[in-house]
Copies of this chain bind each other. A is one copy, B any other.
Amino acid sequence: MEQKPSVTVDIVLFTLMGDDLKVLLVKRKYPPFKDSWAIPGGFVKIDEQLDEAAIRELKEETNVSNVYLEQLYTFGEPKRDPRGRVITICYVGLVHHENFKLKASTDASDVSWYSAYSLPKLAFDHKDIIEFALKRLRGKIGYSNIVLGLLPEEFTLSELQRAYEIILNKQLDKRNFRKKIFALEIIKEVAGKMKGKFRPAQVYRFVSKEIGTFKVEFRPNF
């Protein structure tokens, strides 16, 4: 029997904070790449579903739970890990930055959110992986309600639009944005206004709590 590769899962977890798209990184406590930042992940157990492994690793390494996850791509370059052959099945995750407190595990000396638009030096091929994940997110935003993973249950149209703008890194026209979103019928008004310093805004929710693709294409070129 020939030798087997090791198999890991790694997770690119996005969230929105302020006007920025953030990625969750952990600081490695042990070699290789000791003290470098990396995306969270770890070995798949022998009897564990791949997505369960991703959920478990996220929880263990960073204390983050309750996340939308989807499989991204499998990276298997023979030399991507100096310790030997490691094939990694990568996931994209989305959360509304919220209730949980980040907490570094025993494997990590630190955990933190970093801007997806200005990343530190990263371990392994993790930079490529994050770029791949960002492409996926940008792609799917155009034909699915995937943003719901990044927003709270209730939100205003301006918040929704800001989410699109941050992810696409592009300004959108307010009137056209609203017209399209309504035409897609993916959100609905709920009673109540969001109060801020200025005029209160109508509150909305997604019609569905599940992430799925539209029947109708939506490519915002506003």
- List A residues at the B interface (Cβ < 8 Å): 2-7, 43-50, 71, 73-74, 76-78, 85, 87, 89, 217, 219
Please state if B7 and A48 are interface contacts (CB–CB under 8 Å).
no
State the CA gap A24–B49 with chains docked (Å). 28
Please state if A77 and B49 are interface contacts (CB–CB under 8 Å).
yes
Please state if A89 and B77 are interface contacts (CB–CB under 8 Å).
no
Please state if A46 and B85 are interface contacts (CB–CB under 8 Å).
yes
Given known contacts A47-B78, A50-B76, A5 and B4 CB-to-CB distance under 8 angstroms? yes
Shortest A165–chain B CB gap in Å is 20
Given known contacts A7-B7, A87-B50, A219-B217, A2 and B45 CB-to-CB distance under 8 angstroms? yes
State the CA gap A145–B112 with chains docked (Å). 41
Chain B residues, CB < 8 A from A47: 78, 85
Q: Chain B: which residue is nearest A47 at the CB level?
A: B78
Given known contacts A74-B71, A76-B50, A4 and B2 CB-to-CB distance under 8 angstroms? no
Chain B residues, CB < 8 A from A71: 73-74
Please state if A2 and B43 are interface contacts (CB–CB under 8 Å).
yes
Please state if B77 and A46 are interface contacts (CB–CB under 8 Å).
no
6 contacts between A and B (CB under 8 A): A4-B4, A4-B7, A5-B44, A46-B85, A49-B76, A71-B74
Chain B residues, CB < 8 A from A6: 4
Please state if B2 and A5 are interface contacts (CB–CB under 8 Å).
no
State the CA gap A5–B71 with chains docked (Å). 18
Chain B residues, CB < 8 A from A48: 78
State the CA gap A33–B126 with chains docked (Å). 38
